[in-house]
Amino acid sequence: MKILHTVESYTPTVNGMQEVVKQISENLVKLGHNVTIATKKNTLRKENIINGVKIVDFDISGNFSSGLKGEIEEYKNFVLRSDFDIVTNFAAQQWATDILLPILPQIKAKKVFVPTGFSGFYIPQFREYFENMKQWMKNYDMNVFLSYDYRDINFAKQNNITKNIVIPNGANKEEFLKNYKIDIRKKLNISQNHFLILNVSSHTGLKGHIEAIKIFEKAKIKDCTFVIAGNTLETTKNKLKLKQILKKIIFFILNKKISTGCSQICIDNMQKFNSSKKRKTDDKRLIVSSFTREETVCLYQQSDLFLFPSNIECSPIVLFEAMASQTPFLVTDVGNSKEIIDWSQGGMLLPTKIDKKGYSKVDINKASKILTNIYYNKEILNKLKKSGFNSWLENFSWEKISKDYEKMYCKLLGVKC
């Protein structure tokens, strides 16, 4: 099959959506298919073929609601004039999908949409967008959801959009079953007897970093290190990506100060935390840094617990990666995290309130008590660890998920895989 996957950003940019598309695309190439990515130009990208996946890039920015600019006609012509069998749009509310929505009937290929949650669904600026979405989604041959119960799939059910399938996120066997030579504890000067807590997420200001630090601070635990592994801090701070544009809208609506992320706040909190006199008695340590992908996987593998009090998600890949590394997790009721816990029994839900905008806010005091309890209960930790890993191995590897995409694509085309 000749397959086109469209996504706002791609390697070397690092984010959840990029990782999803990368894993699915590379695995489909391994299965013998011809896969092309249409994405945003990146000056750091030196090749137009990465691990067998072809890349065609465009200088475009924006979305339907904020406005689009750049090589819009070039992108339209590329899609309309190409002979792909399948065209899949990953994620709503960004240019790579939004430009094609009005011209879907003109695209000859079978068309697939992976909405990934509709993060702006409750924001007034997107009201017209989601009104139009009621018809746009009916123009796709299939809509792929990551959950059986979240705002995007519920939107489809409420608006008689019937061409639907659920294919979850996952984690890569090749990455997480590999034994790496890096001793990340030694590299970071973390004692082998320290309880290692991990958070892997970008410094967007919406991943719960500040809350996570407060939970760690309040928890009555000792001899432990908390690592926040985010994107390269300079990149996060200086580049205004789509997430940050959406965040500006959010902060404007909430009458809050506009911010481009929390990297500097996290660094300041780290310095303040580590210099506190309390550290002499509890031997707690906070590390905020960026890491290579290999180092990040090693952190997963060598951690004792994953702490993720995020404010907004769809279906967090990091939870599947935690399961793949045999790391139990604590997570807010965000995206379909509750569903992931039901599927896997690999983690626990933190007390959460969801505001009228759809953002999850953790109860810091109650969460710190849960962290304290699980720290002292090795039996629960081991049970979560084993359950999560076995569930991932059986159901949530990218290898299996990519075959589910292949099966769906073949069915749409009426061919045998």
Number of C-beta neighbours around residue 353 at 10 A: 11
Which of 3.40.50.2000, 3.90.110.10, 3.40.50.720, 2.60.120.1440 would CATH assign to domain 2-170+397-413?
Answer: 3.40.50.2000
pLDDT digits (tens, 9 = 90+) for 42-87: 999 999 999 999 999 999 999 999 999 999 999 999 999 999 999 9
Please give the pLDDT value at position 417: 86
Please give the pLDDT value at position 305: 99
Q: H or E stretch including 7?
A: none
Average pLDDT over every residue of 347-363: 95
| Residue among 400, 292, 387, 389 nearest 23 (CA) | 400
Look at residue 78 and give its three-state secondary structure.
helix
Average pLDDT over every residue of 86-113: 98
Q: Is pLDDT at 317 greater than 70 in this prediction?
A: yes
Please give the pLDDT value at position 237: 40
pLDDT band at 103 (very low <50, low <70, confident <90, very high): very high
User: Sign of dihedral through CA atoms 23, 2, 50, 37?
Assistant: negative
pLDDT digits (tens, 9 = 90+) for 295-311: 999 999 999 999 999 99
**Superfamily name and number for 173-395:** Glycogen Phosphorylase B; (3.40.50.2000)
pLDDT band at 246 (very low <50, low <70, confident <90, very high): low
Give me the percent of the chain exceeding a pLDDT of 90: 89
Q: What whole-number distance in Å separates Cα of residue 277 and Cα of residue 270? A: 14
Please give the pLDDT value at position 255: 45
What average pLDDT is seen over the chain?
A: 93
Please give the pLDDT value at position 356: 87
Q: Is pLDDT at 259 greater than 70 in this prediction?
A: no
pLDDT digits (tens, 9 = 90+) for 140-190: 999 999 999 999 999 999 999 999 999 999 999 999 999 999 999 999 999
Q: Is pLDDT at 240 greater than 60 in this prediction?
A: no
Q: CB within 8 A of 212, min separation 6: which ones? A: 199, 226, 228, 307, 308, 309
Q: Residue 315 is encoded by which pair of tokens?
A: 């279906």
Q: Residue 289 is encoded by which pair of tokens?
A: 């840094």
Please give the pLDDT value at position 16: 86
| 352 CB-side CA count, 13 A | 23
Average pLDDT over every residue of 11-22: 92
Check if 2-170+397-413 and 173-395 are the same fold.
Answer: yes
Number of C-beta neighbours around residue 185 at 10 A: 17
pLDDT digits (tens, 9 = 90+) for 187-207: 999 999 999 999 999 999 999
SS (H, E, C) 37-52: EEEECCCCCCCCEECC
**CA-to-CA separations, 17 to 22, 89, 118, 223, in angstroms, rounded:** 8, 11, 13, 35
Please give the pLDDT value at position 233: 43
Q: Which residues pair with 357 in a beta bridge?
A: none
pLDDT digits (tens, 9 = 90+) for 363-372: 999 999 999 9
Domain residues of the chain, as ranges?
2-170+397-413, 173-395
Please give the pLDDT value at position 162: 97
pTM of the model: 0.85
Average pLDDT over every residue of 9-36: 95
pLDDT band at 15 (very low <50, low <70, confident <90, very high): confident
- Type of residue numbered 99: I
Q: What whole-number distance in Å separates Cα of residue 190 and Cα of residue 194? A: 7
Eight-class DSSP state of 308: E
Q: Residue 9 is encoded by which pair of tokens?
A: 């950003």
Cβ density class 226-260: b for 16+ within 10 Å, e for less: bbbbbbbbebbeeeebbbbbbbebbeeeeeeeeeb
